[in-house]
Amino acid sequence: MPSFICSLLRYASRNRYNNPSVMSPLVKTYVPFATKLTKKLDSNQKYEECVKTLNTLQSNAQTLEKTRLTRDKLAPLHVPNMVKWASRVGITLDDIDRLKVIHVSGTKGKGSTCAYCESILRHQGFKTGFFSSPHLVEVRERFQVNGQPLSREKFVTYFWDVFNKLEATKEQNNDSMPAYFAFLTLMAYNIFLKEQTDVAIIEVGIGGEYDSTNLVRKPVVCGVTSLGMDHVSILGNTIEKIAWQKAGIFKPGVPAFTSPQCPEALKVLHERAEEKGCHLEVAPHFASYERPGEKFKLGIAGHMQKVNASLALQLTRTWMKTQGVLKDEVVNEVAVNGHGDIGVAKSFPFNQTLINGLVECKWLGRNQTIKKNRLTYYLDGAHTLESIQQCVDWFQKHSKREADSISGKVIKILLFNTTGDRDVTQLLRPLMSCGFDGAVFCPNISYTTSSSADITNMTVSSETQLQKCQHNMETWKILSLSKRKYGEIEEVTEDDSQSGTCSSSLKNGVHTNTENNCLNGTSSLKKSKLTENCNNSNLSTGHVDYSQSHDNVDQSKQNSYTASSSSCTDSQGLGTPKQLGTNCDNFFVNFSCIYDALLWASHGRDQNLKDPCNLPAQIHGADHVQVLVTGSIHLVGGVLGIVSDDYN
C-alpha cells in the first residue's frame, strides 16, 4: 500500500475521537480505496510471480543449441509426451474431444483466421475459447474467453492449478516437465474445460504434425491458412516439406479446408488428406459470398484478410452445421479447381449477425494503426516474404492517404527487426519501395535496464539479438546505397550483407544462416561500395545507446544522448554512442532496445515517450511522422506495450 495512504489512515485512526466529524468521512472515503488498491497491487504481484515461474520452463540459448542436432529424432515424441503431461494434470483425450475444437495451422494468417472464427461464433451466441501464440504484451493474452483475454486473477488460479499438479508428479516421471509452449497448451485446454466453453479455437504453434496442440484426436474441423517459407530449420527447406508438416493436423473423418495454395503445396495437402482419410476443400473467393448492396469492411485491415475471412467462414459454418444449428444454404455449386480432385467449397449468403462477426473482429498487431498528435504508428507483425509484400501494399496505401490529407512535411520512418533463420535481405528488399526517410533497427528488447517478465525471452541471448540487429542494419545500408547508385536494388547475397564469419548456404532456393554466427563487421564488397558512395550518398549510420534507466526518463533525456562524430565507413560498435550526420537525406541507426528506438523514430510526438535531443534536422522540421513497425510480431508487441494507451 502506498506510504501516503498508510500515513493518512494512521492519522485518521489516532484522531477519530478528537474530531469525528472530519475524520469519519476521510476513513469512509479512503479505506475502501486503499483496500481496492492493495488488492490490485497484490494481484499484480501474484501475476508477475506466475510469469517468472513460467519463464523457468523456457530453454536457454545454450540448451537449444545443443538440442538442434537431435531435434528431428525428438519431434515424434512431442505429442505422446503431451498426452502424458495432460494425464498428470487430470485431462484425458476424451475431455479434449468434448471441447469441440477448430484446429488451424498455416504460415500466414493463422491468428487472423482464428480471430475471425472466434468473433463469428461469439456473435452467433456461443461461448468461445481461443488459444493463440505468441502474445504481444502479456502472456495471458494467449487465452481468450468470449473475446476477452484471461484476467490476471484467473491466470494465477489456472497457472498454479496446472503447474502444481505437474510439479507434484515430477519425481515419479523422471523429473519431466513440459517446455514453455507445451505448458501453455495444457493450460489452454484446462482453462476451456473449466470455463465450459462451447468451442475451443486452437492456433497451431509451429508446423502441425508434431506441434503441442496436436494431441486433439477429434476436432470438429481443421483449416490450413496460406503457406510460405518460414521456420525452415524446423519444418524443412521446401514448400512441400512445410505443407507436409502443416497437414499433420488432419484427422480421419474430420472435414478440412485450406486457403488457396501454390500447386506444389496443394498437391501435398491433398495427398496428406487422402492418407489421413479426411475430405479437403479450398475456401472460395471472398467475393462469391457477397450479394449486391452488401459490401462491408472487414475488422482487420489488409487485402489478404479476405482470404483469411473466407477460410474462417468455411470453418465456422461447418462447425455450426455439426452442432445442428444451421441449415445448408448453398449459393454456388462445388467446382473443381484443376489441382487433383480438390474442389472449391460452397459459398453461402450472409446474414447481419455473420457480418457483425466479420466487421467487429479485432486482432492487434496486424495491419494496425495508432494515431497520435502529429505521429502515426503503422504496426504489422509480417515476417515472411509474402506477408512483408502485403504489409508494403497496406502501408503505402494508407500512409499515402494520410499524407495527402496533411498540409506540411510528412516523413516516413521504418522500425525493423527479424529473428531466427529468416533471410533478412529478402525481407528488407520489398520495404525499399516505401521511400523511407530513415530506418531504425533494434532487438526485441523493450528496455535496456528492466523488462516485464511477460516479454522475457531466454531462448536467445541478448548478445545474439544485438548482433542480428547490427546485421539487419548493414543489410539495409547496402540495399540503400545500391538503389541510390544504380536506380534499382542490386542482387545482394548473404555474403554481402554479413561478415565473412557468418555462415550461409542456399538450399532449394532458400537462404539459411545460423543466427549465432551473424557477427558485426563489414565485408570487402560492402566497404568498397560504402567508400565509393559515402560522399555522395547522403546516407548516415550510427549506433545509439541511451544506456539509461527508463524509470527516470527525464534524467535520461538530459544525459543519455552523448555523441561523437561518425563517418559512413566507421565500424559501428554496439554500445558505442554515435552522432548522426546533419547533412543527410536518409538515415539508418541501430539501438539497443525498443524504447530508445521509439524515442528516435517518434521525436517526442508520443506522450508515452520523452523528446530526445540531437535528432536529424529533417525530423525536427516535419509536420507529421509516420512510423512503420514490422519484421517481427515480438517487436510489434514490444512497441504496443510502450505506446498503446491500452497498456499504459
- Residue pLDDT, tens place only, 139-191: 999 999 999 999 999 999 999 999 999 999 999 998 889 999 999 999 999 99
Rg for the chain (alpha carbons), in Å? 26
Q: What are phi and psi of 594, to 5 degrees?
A: -65, -40
Tell me how long the chain is. Answer: 648
Q: What is the torsional sign of CA 24, 30, 33, 39?
A: negative
Q: State which residues of the chain have pLDDT below 70.
A: 1-41, 60-71, 291-294, 327-341, 449-452, 455, 458-459, 485-586, 604, 610-619, 647-648
For residue 484, what is its C-alpha cell? 541510390
CA distance 357 to 116: 7
For residue 597, what is its C-alpha cell? 528506438
Q: Is 567 left (phi over 0), alpha (psi -120 to 50) or beta?
A: beta
CB atoms within 10 A of CB 300: 23
Angle between helices 110-123 and 352-359 (to 10 degrees): 140
H or E element, residue 249: none
SS3 101: strand
Q: What are phi and psi of 279, to 5 degrees?
A: -95, 125
Question: What's the pLDDT at 582?
Answer: 35
CA distance 228 to 641: 29
Q: What is the pLDDT of residues 391-410, one digit of tens each?
A: 999 999 999 999 999 999 99
SS3 92: coil
Q: Is 277 left (phi over 0), alpha (psi -120 to 50) or beta?
A: left
Question: What's the pLDDT at 527?
Answer: 34
- Percentages of the chain per state (helix, strand, coil), in multiples of 5: 50, 15, 40
Tell me the sheet residues that pair with 371: 376
Question: What's the pLDDT at 554?
Answer: 36
For residue 444, what is its C-alpha cell? 526485441
Question: What's the pLDDT at 454?
Answer: 72
Q: How far is CA 401 from the centre of its chain?
A: 26
Question: What's the pLDDT at 70?
Answer: 66
Question: What's the pLDDT at 461?
Answer: 78
Strand order in the sheet with 221-224: 148-149, 143-145, 128-131, 199-203, 101-105, 221-224, 256-258, 280-282, 343-344, 335-336
> What's this model's pTM, rounded to 2 decimal places?
0.79
CA distances from 352 to 187, 293, 339 (A): 35, 13, 34
CA distance 42 to 34: 12
Residue 293 DSSP label: T
The label of the residue with cell 550518398 reads 537
CB atoms within 10 A of CB 35: 11
For residue 445, what is its C-alpha cell? 528488447
CA distance 345 to 566: 60
**Cβ(528)–Cβ(485) below 8 Å:** no
